[in-house]
């Protein structure tokens, strides 16, 4: 695959993967700006979905005389609201992450303190654990759930 096509296929949410310069400090100003841009775009997209849901519910709200039609509409609205609730929680996590960037504490594992890594953060910008600590946490969660 040509280099340009390969780079395009690796884009995350319309963003080019961050290209480190030789000897660049981990989570220096350019990296923090990169992740701030990604997180703000993600938050903006989520907020747009919230607005779309509100508009959709206003436009589609009807008092159907048929109980089956009314139940179908209520179920559709309930599913949309659950999705928006998950997105609301994600927006809170994005805001927390943006604060970590501002405080220059972003990019390090909350459990062991090592670098989380650029590629993991680009895949999951709100990650607060390195891959090893996250894997261990998932294993523990599965054991407790049994």
Q: Where are the domains of the chain?
A: 26-106, 107-146
pLDDT in tens, 48-102: 888 888 777 777 766 777 888 778 888 888 888 888 889 999 999 999 999 999 9
Three-class DSSP category at 107: coil
* 26-106: CATH topology: 1.20.120
CA 47 to chain centre: 12
């Amino acid at each position: 695959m040509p280099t340009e096509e390969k780079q395009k296929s690796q884009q995350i949410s319309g963003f080019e993967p961050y290209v480190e310069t030789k000897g660049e400090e981990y989570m220096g100003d350019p990296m923090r700006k990169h992740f701030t841009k990604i997180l703000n775009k993600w938050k903006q997209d989520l907020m747009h979905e919230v607005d779309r849901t509100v508009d959709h519910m206003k436009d589609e709200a009807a008092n159907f005389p048929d109980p089956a039609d009314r139940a179908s509409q209520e179920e559709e609205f309930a599913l949309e609201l659950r999705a928006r609730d998950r997105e609301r929680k994600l927006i809170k996590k994005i805001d927390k992450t943006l604060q970590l960037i501002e405080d220059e504490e972003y990019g390090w594992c909350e459990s062991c303190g090592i670098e989380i890594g650029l590629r993991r953060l680009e895949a999951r910008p709100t990650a607060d654990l390195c891959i090893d600590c996250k894997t261990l946490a998932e294993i523990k969660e599965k054991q407790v759930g049994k």
